[in-house]
Chain A
Amino acid sequence: MKQLEKLECCWVKRGVPRPKLRIMSEEEFLKIHNASIKLLEDVGVFIDNKEGLRSLEEAGALVDGRRARIPRRIVEDALERAPKTITIYDRDGAKYAELRPGGETLFAPGSAAVKILDYNSTTPRPPALRDLVNIALIVENLSSIKLQSTAVIPVDVPIEHRDSIRLLPILAFSSKPIVTGAFSDEGLINMLKALSILREDYADKPMAIFDVCPSPPLKWSYTTCQNLLDLARTAMPAEIISMPQIGATGPATIAGSLIQHHAEVLSGIVMAETVNPGTPVIYGGSPSLFDMRYGTSRIAAPEAILLTAAYIGICGFLGLPCHAYLCLSDSKTLDYQAGMETLMGALIALLTGVNVASGPGMLEYESVLSIEKILLDSEVIEVASRILRGFEIADETIALDVMKRVVTGKMHYLTEKHTLKWYRREHYIPMLVDTTTVEAREPDRIIGRAREKVLEVLRSARSKVLEEKLFSALIKYFSKLTGIREEKLVAMLGVK
């Protein structure tokens, strides 16, 4: 609970009114936390993985068949061992960011979309490896999106290697750290190998965060559990992403689903910290509202966002770095709904101060990615960030003397030195939002502008190209892994 006070003081700066959001009191947090622990003690988690069960048994959990009931003491021990700050590095080994409660919010595109929506198309298509190159270049060139992600699943690669191959285009063209994840037990090992080709100290100075997603309610599949254990052994950052569908795989109430969510993440933290004390774990989530009419999983529903804001609050109390799926939409096109839902999430991400926010670019229940939407969402983040930045109250910003002069003189501020100095500091000048006078009333003008910007970035993209030797080594590795000839692999990336 000591973290709480610390949090308060670093969030609030005197004389700078700025919004922030914490939706749970300490008393409310304890009510949820204790209920989750009771759930772990009384019901436990189902784990379809012998090693996972063994690790919990060693820690002192009561294992019966494939069910492990976890006593409070073990949960508390694990929380004690979990690092409170996680430092991540860029591809080339330079320190990039610190993940800790009250710290900065780093946005990353949503992950593992099965389709991609092209500009002006209404039918999403299967993604190819080349698309990941474009996504990597776009993200590398956007200052508001600080992390890369393995955002789509390329179908021009054999299915067994569609997880690991996604690292190749990102590592080749961008130095930003990557949010990623494996689809099988071997997949993770392959991905770690790829990272080790770049840097021997890939685990000491991690350039990637791996998502592991338990299956609600309170289950761990063999693969997910194995991924978590292997990550813990190498001490790579694991992002534990619980994903209750409120009303279907989680209780219909937000409190109930939150308790289940929390219990699932705690069970993952216990496993990771038992296998290797001090393993960096990020408390994550992708809760959704199960739509009772159509059976869809609405990640951008207000109820899901409320649950997310609540567990981000829990992380504040526990002092753990945290992650959320925010700044994305369930809409099928770039329309009113897409904008509304994305901004709602982006604001909540920034207001709650979540460390990693996955979402930009994503549509349709986290299954379709639009490159134009990455640009549009970058604008959304800039707008939300502007609100978050607040404003300064100081003699100079109060500007009484300037007002006195103008009000008794020329009656406008445009030619004041004060204006010239302050407007750039205080105003965000939009990149895409239409601020013109009425010239043309075409619908969705903003999307056309996003498209132009995409083309412009891709034409003149600054890419942080990997040095030749390492690139060749990576190509060699992935060629051997996938059975795709080296020259063909290079051609698939679109490299001349």
Chain B
Amino acid sequence: MSREEIEKLLRELRNRVLEGDDEGAENIVTRLAELRVDPKRIIEEALTPAMNKAGELYEVGEYFIPELMMAAEAFKAAFNVVKPLLKTDETGGRATIIIGTVAGDIHELGKNLVATMLRIAGYNVVDLGVNVPAEKFVEEALKHGAKIIGLSALMSTTMVEQRKVIEILEKKGLRDKFKVIVGGAPVTEDWARQIGADAYGRDAFEAVRKVRMLLGEEGSA
């Protein structure tokens, strides 16, 4: 296959991701993998630029949240094909972030929004879903070598679960290993301070800014 054709496929992949066409993106990326195109190149020349562009389009008011989330899903579909082909030291993204909605809470919209925005910002996001037991956050964070744990709670009662995760980290002597960011409708800055969380994200956009700050990347994006 000629160089031009591969470049054409990469461009096509970028467009599919940008348009939120997950099936299309998956097909092209599978094709590129079959052609033994370097997975790193696929990420750097197609997937990452597509997400950057989606972010830009949002900034100028051309894209709204649905387009962004669909682009993120197409990115995820394509990335899942590429991921097994990467060498272990290439995560294809930046730091890994564990995210989930705490035990007893089945609300996922806010958490999904945060996950999307973090993916757009280039982070490797491991989404544990909803109703996640406190211990599980810690286990998964260790397993994935995560830098940050994100805890979502939408109910006044399930907020206490956020404190539980931090208590487990402290008990296991792991508190310094991870930064903890909390969010959700009833959650406030004061609550975050009270339970000893490292940051509070008022919304998905602020969550990304706070994550950057926690990772010492402020101003890098």
Interface residues of chain A, those whose CB is within 8 Å of chain B, are 48, 112, 114-115, 126, 153, 155, 159-160, 162-163, 183-184, 187, 215, 219, 221-223, 245, 247-249, 290, 292-296, 367
Knowing A153-B186, A155-B190, say if A296 contacts B107 (CB, 8 Å).
no
5 additional A-B residue pairs with CB within 8 Å, beyond A187-B157, A245-B109, A290-B65: A114-B186, A223-B157, A295-B65, A295-B113, A295-B203
* Contacts of B105-163 to chain A: CB distance below 8 A: 105-107, 109, 113, 131, 155-157, 159-160
Min Cβ gap B154→A in Å is 8
Determine whether the beta carbon of A153 is less than 8 Å from that of B203.
Answer: no
Chain B residue contacts of A248, Cβ below 8 A: 109
* A187, closest chain B residue (CB): B157
Min Cβ gap A150→B in Å is 11
Number of interface residues of B (CB under 8 A): 23
Determine whether the beta carbon of A153 is less than 8 Å from that of B64.
Answer: no
Residue of B64, B106, B131, B155 near A293 (CB, 8 A) is B64
Residue of A222, A296, A367 near B104 (CB, 8 A) is A222
Knowing A114-B188, A248-B109, A292-B65, say if A153 contacts B155 (CB, 8 Å).
no
6 nearest interchain CB pairs?
A292-B64, A183-B156, A184-B157, A183-B157, A292-B65, A126-B190
* Contacts of B83-114 to chain A: CB distance below 8 A: 104-107, 109, 113
Complex-state Cα separation, A458 to B188, whole angstroms: 29
Chain A residue contacts of B186, Cβ below 8 A: 114, 153
Determine whether the beta carbon of B157 is less than 8 Å from that of A215.
Answer: no
Complex-state Cα separation, A222 to B64, whole angstroms: 33
Q: 1/0 per residue B197-211: CB within 8 Å of A? A: 000000111000000
Determine whether the beta carbon of A183 is less than 8 Å from that of B155.
Answer: yes
Chain B residue contacts of A249, Cβ below 8 A: 109
Interface residues of chain B, those whose CB is within 8 Å of chain A, are 61, 64-66, 104-107, 109, 113, 131, 155-157, 159-160, 185-186, 188, 190, 203-205
* B159, closest chain A residue (CB): A159
Determine whether the beta carbon of A223 is less than 8 Å from that of B104.
Answer: yes
* A252, closest chain B residue (CB): B66
Tell me what chain B mostly uses at the interface: helix, strand, loop, or mixed: loop
* A163, closest chain B residue (CB): B156
Q: Which of B64, B113, B203, B204 gathers most chain A CB within 10 Å?
A: B64
* B64, closest chain A residue (CB): A292
Min Cβ gap A288→B in Å is 12
Complex-state Cα separation, A294 to B106, whole angstroms: 22
Knowing A159-B159, A293-B65, say if A221 contacts B203 (CB, 8 Å).
no
Min Cβ gap A247→B in Å is 8
Knowing A221-B105, A221-B106, A222-B104, say if A295 contacts B156 (CB, 8 Å).
no
Chain A residue contacts of B159, Cβ below 8 A: 159
Chain B residue contacts of A48, Cβ below 8 A: 106, 131
Chain A residue contacts of B205, Cβ below 8 A: 294
Complex-state Cα separation, A353 to B82, whole angstroms: 58
Min Cβ gap B119→A in Å is 15
Min Cβ gap A128→B in Å is 12
A selection of 16 A-B contacts at a CB cut-off of 8 Å is A112-B156, A114-B186, A115-B188, A126-B190, A183-B155, A187-B157, A221-B104, A221-B106, A221-B155, A248-B109, A249-B109, A290-B65, A293-B64, A294-B203, A295-B113, A296-B203
Determine whether the beta carbon of B188 is less than 8 Å from that of A293.
Answer: no
Residue of A160, A293, A367 near B61 (CB, 8 A) is A293
* A366, closest chain B residue (CB): B185
Chain B residue contacts of A187, Cβ below 8 A: 157
Chain A residue contacts of B106, Cβ below 8 A: 48, 215, 219, 221
Complex-state Cα separation, A222 to B65, whole angstroms: 30
Complex-state Cα separation, A114 to B66, whole angstroms: 28
Chain A residue contacts of B66, Cβ below 8 A: 247, 292
Complex-state Cα separation, A184 to B161, whole angstroms: 13
Complex-state Cα separation, A248 to B105, whole angstroms: 18
Complex-state Cα separation, A228 to B203, whole angstroms: 30
Min Cβ gap B216→A in Å is 26
* A46, closest chain B residue (CB): B106
* A112, closest chain B residue (CB): B156
Complex-state Cα separation, A214 to B106, whole angstroms: 11
Knowing A115-B188, A153-B186, say if A295 contacts B105 (CB, 8 Å).
no
* A291, closest chain B residue (CB): B65
* A293, closest chain B residue (CB): B64
Complex-state Cα separation, A215 to B185, whole angstroms: 14
Determine whether the beta carbon of A126 is less than 8 Å from that of B188.
Answer: yes
Complex-state Cα separation, A294 to B61, whole angstroms: 11
* B114, closest chain A residue (CB): A295
Chain B residue contacts of A245, Cβ below 8 A: 109
Complex-state Cα separation, A126 to B156, whole angstroms: 14
Complex-state Cα separation, A160 to B161, whole angstroms: 12
Chain B residue contacts of A294, Cβ below 8 A: 203, 205
* A224, closest chain B residue (CB): B155
Min Cβ gap A159→B in Å is 6
Complex-state Cα separation, A115 to B186, whole angstroms: 9
Residue of B64, B104, B131, B156 near A162 (CB, 8 A) is B156
Min Cβ gap B163→A in Å is 9
Chain A residue contacts of B160, Cβ below 8 A: 159-160
Chain A residue contacts of B113, Cβ below 8 A: 295
Complex-state Cα separation, A223 to B113, whole angstroms: 24
Chain A residue contacts of B65, Cβ below 8 A: 290, 292-293, 295
Min Cβ gap B104→A in Å is 7
* B58, closest chain A residue (CB): A293
Chain B residue contacts of A247, Cβ below 8 A: 66
* A365, closest chain B residue (CB): B185
Complex-state Cα separation, A245 to B108, whole angstroms: 13
Residue of A153, A293, A296 near B156 (CB, 8 A) is A153
* A221, closest chain B residue (CB): B106
Min Cβ gap B181→A in Å is 17
Min Cβ gap A34→B in Å is 28
Chain A residue contacts of B107, Cβ below 8 A: 215
Chain A residue contacts of B131, Cβ below 8 A: 48
Min Cβ gap A331→B in Å is 16
* A185, closest chain B residue (CB): B157
Residue of A126, A163, A290, A367 near B185 (CB, 8 A) is A367
